[in-house]
Structure 1
Amino acid sequence: MGTVLDAVDRIIERRVAIKVVKVPAANDPDGAEAHARFRREAQAAGRLSHPNIVGVYDYGENAETAWIVMELVEGGSLKDRLDKHERFTVADVARLMGQVCSALSYSHARGVVHRDIKPGNIMMSSHGADAQVKIADFGIARLENSSMTQVGTLIGTPSYMAPEQFRGEPVDARADIWAAGVMLYQLLTGEKPFEGGFSAVMHKALHTEPPPPSQLSGIVPRSFDAVISRALAKRPEDRYASAEAFAAGIQDAIVNPNASSAALPMPGGDADATMLATGSRPPSAMPGLPGLDGSSANNAATTATTRTNPTAKPTPVTTTGKKSPLPLILGGVGGLAAAAVAVWFFVIQPGAGPSPEEIARQAEIVRQAELSRQEAQRQAETIAAAARAEAARLETARLERERNEEAARVAEAARQEAARAEADRQAEAQRLEAARQAELARLAETQRQQRLTQQEQARQQALLREQDAARQAEAQRQAEAARLAEVARQAEASRQAEAARQAELARLQQQAAAAQQEAARQAEIARQQQGTLTQQQEAARQAEAARQAEAQRQADLARQAEAQRQADLAAQQEAARQAEIARQQQLAMIRPDFRAAALAAVQASSCGLLSFTASDQSLTIGGVVRRGDDALVRQELSARNIPEGSARLALQSFEGPYCQALDLFRPVLAQGDRAPRVALVGTAPLVEGQLMRLDVQMPDYPAHLYVAYFNKLGEVAHLVPSQLQPAGARIRLGEPRGNFNGWPVDEPFGTDLAIVIASDRPLFATTRPVIEQQEDYLNALAGALRNARTAGNRVLVRPIIIETVPRR
């Protein structure tokens, strides 16, 4: 993936390799995954420093290109050698695999599983026979607590993939053990254990066993069959538990081959080599001859050229630069003995009857020959001792030379390691300084934003208070004016009614007085005109009639006065009713400001994440608040004369350390009904063991979905680290499928906080750990939100409280 350049770091004068790739377009999900894999390669290899792992020195990227600066390895790959049909001795295979296992042990101990061990990713430090192994390409490596690769995805090279990888199951270090076992099989036999297309390789890896390597190559000890069988076990738990155990198994196979491996050529030996053998010679056929009897012959050293006996354990000759003359000398001694035998057979023939002088002469000849043989043997032993001493000296010199070379190599490696460590230290110091400066800048920016936010909030609150006070003062003034006007009107109406009543009484009294005067006048006239009793009676009758008429008139006056009083009372009641109607109309003219009331209610909670919608007649407030702050929201609405029927509250209360997180999310909270929206599937609270599932509505534009889960222990779990979703998508999260078993509820129980984040660009350059401390996540998120705001990216969040309880 990408282009590799041969370059020179001019600062420290070091040759390096630079791997370069293009940054993909924003709408290319496959390119984004490849880019993330490229970053992951730098992240995985950058945390490792081992002689058998290609070192990574730096990583960088801009708008168009990303690059990794790494160690330059010039020997090509192990695959290049296998493609050239280069064969390796068993000792070389053990050496190479020992280095591979050492690198894997180091990476596994630091939480890095390679997942693509194969000859193409095994680089060689040089083209020589003693080249060192360098593992490369950590592009699909899995870091500990990382979930970027989803369960059920096949990643790797089929011929080297373990059965659990084909099944889409989670993998661990034992998948690398399998791949290393495949590579060991290939180095020993020249063939892969499972050949064919993808389907064939998968079927064989899951269901069949490869032929033992000793059956495919005559030089492979049968002890390697058990090593291969264990490394390629179908079940991970049946394989070697670690790379160290695998390396130990390979060494045991070298040191302790079984009986059937004795036919293998010994290191440095030859099946047709000349060997020294110690054994008995047949007794002499000439009894009585000195030096040729059985006792003398049994001590003689002989030479023989033989084939290696598979059932014997021959001792090979140690060969040095100068051959020992001992075999030639012993061969000469053998020639003398043969001459003596020839004398016996050809000169002193059986039955010839030699004379005593001849016998004495022949005995002297044999004695002289024996003396010569003994002298030659002494000389041969002296020469052999000198040869052994010379060989020991040469061997000592060779070992000393090798020790010096090894010491020089170790010193050079130590020097390079020290230089690399110093460079790493300086780079780390620069990185820490840059991080410190960035953190200082972030803190300064955060403080500035907080100051601006506090000032803006104070200004808005002061403005709201001023507006509220002005509205209340105006309402009170208008109500008081209406009350005074009504009082004045009622007083005027009462005065006018009283005046009318007094005038009517005066009129009636005048009429009564006039009637009395008229009656008296009539009575006087009648009395004067009639002096008789009849006249008097008539006058009495008329007087009685006048009295009755006066009584009737007085009753009418009383009735009219009562009617007037009732009319006045009705008028006063009507005036009071009209005044109350006017007051209500006056109050109705002062309508509540629902938007201002909603804004003030949202700001009443110091620890919450609330959004609202408001119209001229109603308002809605929803979100999460600290337990007890919901009462503050209701009090603020009541103080602003908001009728209960006009306010809809959808508040979730919590208890937990979430205030800092809510402060960070508040500027990017989705208001009203804007997406993203989230709802819990099922009823709350969730009981222990029950699955948590969420329905999420995405915005009307493509966005990356994140779900962060905060618990009361101060931890954050990334349930959805990053998923690009289409515009307007509706997603059900937490449903079990495949190897994913869902999100079962477990302790700690209580009120947890889930935050759904939608961002049109990725927030983080690298995947966050599956679980991390809240403080670490919020620090990283603050920087990500600041970068998104600077770049003009859209980021919206929506909170939801998840209440959990133990099973009863």
Structure 2
Amino acid sequence: MLPAELAQKYEVRGTLGAGAMGTVLDAVDRIIERRVAIKVVKMPAANDPEGKEAHARFRREAQAAGRLSHANIVGVYDYGENAETAWIVMELVEGGSLKDRLDRQERFTVQDVARLMEQVLSALAYSHGRGVVHRDIKPGNIMLSSQGPDASVKIADFGIARLENSSMTQVGTLIGTPSYMAPEQFRGEPVDARADIWAAGVMLYQLLTGEKPFEGGFSAVMHKALNTEPPPPSELSVTVPRAFDAVIARALAKRPDERFASADAFAQAIRQALTAPSGAAPSAPLPLMMPDSDATLVATGGGAGTMGGLSGVGLPGLPGLDGTAATGTTASRPAFPPATEPKPAKPEGKRGAPLGLIFGGAGGLAAIAAAAWFFVLQPPPGPTPEELVRQAELARQAELVRQQEAQRIAAEAARQAELARQQEAQRQAEAARQEAERQAELTRLAEIARQQRLTEQEQARQQALFRQQEEARQAEAARQADAARQAAEAARQAELALQTAEAARLAELARQQEIARQQQDAARQAELARQHEAARQAELARQQEAARHAELARQAEVARQQEAARQAAELARQQEAERQRQAELERQRQLALVRPDFRSAAAAAVAAASCGLLTWTASDQSLSIAGVARRGEDAAIRRELTARNVPEDSARLALQLFDGPYCGTLDVFRPVLALGDSAPRVSVLGTMPLAKGQFVRLDVQMPDWPAYIHLAYFMNTGEAAQLVPSPLVPSTLQQPSARLRLGEPRGNFPGWEVDEPFGTDLAIVIASDRPLLASVTRPANERPEEYLAAIATAIRNNLRAGGRVIARPVVVETVRGR
């Protein structure tokens, strides 16, 4: 559970994982409603040095991640500790880890690999710029924001990170995950940002090929990382562009100075390899192999072990909680070409073993032999059995180092011979290339001469064609000149015709003007006659208007007398109404002197609702009625309370009204209806009505006994759905008084999204001490009568067997939009 310091601010939703040291909780910030993950560990005992070291790593994780704020790094919001526990409050990432994707054998394209690595290297460049070296980059610590193909990266678990100016990790400490550890980490040397470059290169190799470059047990991985080179990625997968071979070779260089100088430079090299002409990215995804489980090792003094606690398990948004190390063996692989141009081969007869390496290796073996002689042949006086065992182990390790050094020398000699062979092959290939270029140049010159001959022929043909076109143009000009002369003659004839037509038009216009003058004289005579008639009609209208005014005055007097009579009658009616109101007030005052029976009034009001599922509580002073009822039944309830003299301020009605065919449905659940405020208590999250695109989410308080939960949903379209249990939302036995959130989208469950048809729906939450219906036997949607018959039979059988069943209804209103 949460420490007392966090219980007020955070609400725990569930447990994401647990280990030997502590627990990771799924929680929500009550104030800002932000989901978080809280990692809680036990404080170590005073006499537990390993526990103290683990606690120091836990605190260092908070310090390292807390000083970083980047889109591709899991955010840390808070850290604290008390006498019993320590905790980190961090960002919750729900998409799982990259290792989970690899374990499920998911497929990635080269473009997706480049996009993921771009985000990882961006986060590393940011952390390196602020003095933080992660030291444990691996797929298990690369979290994904979602399950989709476009999920973004979040780097997690800075528990073994090295902070700038920190001395917590000393020289000689072996720390990290073997398959992803750089050579300097195996040697226990101080590490810097280039160790993260190496680990990122291992991860890029694994994403491109489906295999790790160095596999096997701890000793095998260490030997290969120190002495061998993996095959080029393009040899393991034909879909990998060859340009990535040089990128991998530089990222996995044995010497830190030969690797990429920064994460940004690494990312730039990936982008260039992706767009290289000879390395076009394939359109088909790459097949991936199932990777081994990798755990982070923390060991000092020549030993190695696993770091327990909260690292190693992929949980939604968090590093894992197990501690298994990768095992297995693999054969040595040939080295792939270096990232730079090979040096010229030595002259024949002067090629030999690399003396510097031999003498250097011999010197190293001599130092190891001297150390073995000192600890084995010259032990201090009186060694204890433990010291003898430790000395024998040192001798065994010295012999192992000697064998590894001999193998490395032999491998280096073989590599030099192979390099000389490759250089000779390159020389011969260069000579063949030059000869091919010479032949190609001769062919090109011959082609140029042929093209010149063709050009001369084409020019002659063009000149002949031009002469033909010029003759045709001149003929066309003569034809157009003749056509223009004919057009001018036609225009002259048309002009003469227009002049004749204009003279005729002017004569017609003079005739029409004479006709118009005669018509105007006639119209003037008619207008004088009309004005005379209008004056006569106006006089007649004046006389009629005077008669109308006299009639209106008479009608106004009659209306005034009628209004006076109406006002007198209205005054009498108001006086009678006031008298009746006073009488009613007196009657109510008299009724108020008699105390109503609140219990019988509540029972009668509930019975008055013919379609509803209601419960009531009452005391000597008030009553309360709650539940669901058909719209309009609330008026019947209020009428019954008024008839029984229940004051309005003494009755509390908490009714959810619906419009729909739910009366028969409510009758089925009436025998098991939860009474009053008893559990299960159900409320709809969000503001009603819910709009399209929102989710139907229910907050449920379970009863105080272990129970299974069932959720039946009845729609106004006449369909019924069993939402819980279902294949995506199984029904499990819940603890007494458990608080549940139904309908929250999480993982593979998409939630219950509001969509057509809209209106008033009815949800029934049922709690029982045993499962009622098997989810696999019921369809997603069915007719209500079929579901009700099955659930009624299951409820009766459970009650007859002495079981317990209670139900609580809730109304859900939906609309298209608000």
TM-score of the superposition, structure 1-length normalised?
Answer: 0.32
TM-score of the superposition, structure 2-length normalised?
Answer: 0.32
Structure of higher CA gyration radius: 1
